[in-house]
Every structure is written in C-alpha cells, then in structure tokens.
Amino acid sequence: MDQNNSLPPYAQGLASPQGAMTPGIPIFSPMMPYGTGLTPQPVQSTSSLSILEEQQRQQQQQQQQQQQQQQQQQQQQAAQQSTSQQATQGTSGQTPQLFHSQTLTTAPLPGTTPLYPSPMTPMTPITPATPASESSGIVPQLQNIVSTVNLGCKLDLKTIALRARNAEYNPKRFAAVIMRIREPRTTALIFSSGKMVCTGAKSEEQSRLAARKYARVVQKLGFPAKFLDFKIQNMVGSCDVKFPIRLEGLVLTHQQFSSYEPELFPGLIYRMIKPRIVLLIFVSGKVVLTGAKVRAEIYEAFENIYPILKGFRKTT
C-alpha cells in the first residue's frame, strides 16, 4: 500500500513527471479525459418502451465499450513506450523494468477499478505487493440479478392478473402480481403502487431488457407505464476453485469475517468488508458471492478470497 515509500531513491526523481501517462487509472490520464469525443451515453429514461429500441441501445453501448477499451489499450501501449525510454535513461536496475512489464500484463478487468491508486510514475508496481502471484484464472459466473423499476403510475392488479398471460395474483398471500416471461427467463413482482421487482436474469442487460418487457405488457393493458429509476439491487455469482477447503481452519484465522455452523448450514459465511460482499464457501470448493451492486464487486471479492482459500486447501 505504501508504494511511494518503496520507491528506490533513483526513481524518486521520476515520481511526478509533467504530463506523464498513468496507465493505472485511464480516467485521470490527460489523454483520456472523462468526457471524450465518443458518443455520450443515451438518455436513461426514454419514453418509448419498445424492445427493439432497447436492444439497439444495448448493442450501441457494447460497441462503445469495445471502442473505449481499444483506445485505452492503445494509449497504454503508447504511454509505456514513452516511459520505457525514461526508465532506461534514469536507472540501471532490472527491477523497474520488471514492474514495468507487470503493468503491461495486468490489465484491469472491464468494469473494475484498480485496487490501489497508481502514483504518477510507471516505475512503481501497480499490482499489489506480491508481483509473483497471478490472478486466479477463474471468473465467477453471474447467476441472478435482482432489479427494481418504477412504472410511474398506479396499477389495478386484478385487471393485470385477469388479462395478462402467465400471471398469478393471490392478495391474501401476497399483495403483488407475479408475472413471468420466457426470454429472458425472469420473474417480476408488480405492485399496485406501480413499482416492480425483476428477478432471475443472468446479466445486467438481460435484467434491464426483461424489466422493459414487463413494462410493455403493463402498458399494452392500458396503463400509462413509464420506465423510471431502473436500478440493480443485487447480483449473485458463483464459481468453483476446484479444490477442497478446510473451513474449520478458515473460520479460526478469519473469525472476525467468518461464521461457520455446520449444524445449521454446511457453508462458511464470509462477510468481506471491501468490497462489501457476502461469500458462501463450501468444503467442495464451490463459492457463492452475493450482495454486489456491480459486476466488478463480485470479481474483486473473488480475487481477494482466492489466495486465502488456496492457503486452506485440503491436502488429504
């Protein structure tokens, strides 16, 4: 964490070069200002609930993200070429070049923010203090996304239940209409206030698309439905580390984060502080991660827990 202190004395002269590129955080790089010349994001709350428009909008966003990534990579390469000249002039050691090559290989996952803010010099390591450790190579898969949206008008649930397909309404048990669609395979809870919960989607875009489809169904039944304040409330991911884990050992050393009661539940419940994610860790090596608002939190939490789990691998 104290990267500035670990700077060797000969490199401190390079600590704050004027106008240097900082590949760690492209946002702050002068070459990549926050508002680039790229097409700005489309307005979130469109009046039309057309599914075709929604899909087109999602495709446009994906293309923009790809273009941004390509530009970032080009700038990183340009930055490292210019700073490698500085490195060879100012220093004699192999160490800066070692860290230098580290920055080339450890590109952040799309959507992640770097764990440590990068200093102005490219000489110091951007990766955490153990450059020898590699990433796990395992990517958690998203299993469930829960999102909410406000349709902006009062709804008559009985009308919706009687006229819409694939709807359930049992006001004695639960005060909402439960509706399902096949593509994306999701379930929605629609309340008389006009608010709606959409569950079951496997990606953020699918969740948004599904919510729009439900809103369209309600609109076609005659209600003046809008699509206000769509927000993803929770994301669940899962993955497999492919080795058995000593949960008993883990709860002993990480007791401030873990709770493990095998008589109650066979999994260890690990409450990570940063990012604020709850992980269910099982003896088999399967891990469930939940509580994320963005995909990057799931990835970050897994990268944090993986070296810990490796330390508690069962050897028998």
Which residues would be at the binding site for other proteins (CB under 8 A)? 146, 148, 158, 161-162, 165-170, 173-174, 176, 178, 180, 182, 185, 187, 189, 197, 199-200, 233-234, 291
Minimum distance from CB of 164 to other proteins (Å)? 8
Give the nearer residue to other proteins in terms of CB position, either 15 or 164. 164
Expressed in angstroms, the distance from the first to the final Cα of the chain is 36
Minimum distance from CB of 223 to other proteins (Å)? 17
Q: How far apart are CA 161 and CA 169, in angstroms?
A: 6
Minimum distance from CB of 217 to other proteins (Å)? 13
Give the nearer residue to other proteins in terms of CB position, either 60 or 170. 170
Give the nearer residue to other proteins in terms of CB position, either 190 or 239. 190
Q: How far apart are CA 24 and CA 122, in angstroms?
A: 8
Give the nearer residue to other proteins in terms of CB position, either 197 or 215. 197
Please count the other Cβ atoms lying within 10 Å of the Cβ belonging to residue 16.
10
Of residues 284, 276, 290, the one with CA closest to residue 309: 284
Asked if the bond preceding 125 is cis, omega within 30° of 0, the reply is no
194 - beta bridge partners?
Answer: none
SS (H, E, C) 282-305: CCCCEEEEEEECCHHHHHHHHHHH
Give the nearer residue to other proteins in terms of CB position, either 225 or 235. 235
Q: Which residue type, as a one-letter code, is found at position 200?
A: G
Minimum distance from CB of 173 to other proteins (Å)? 8
Minimum distance from CB of 254 to other proteins (Å)? 23
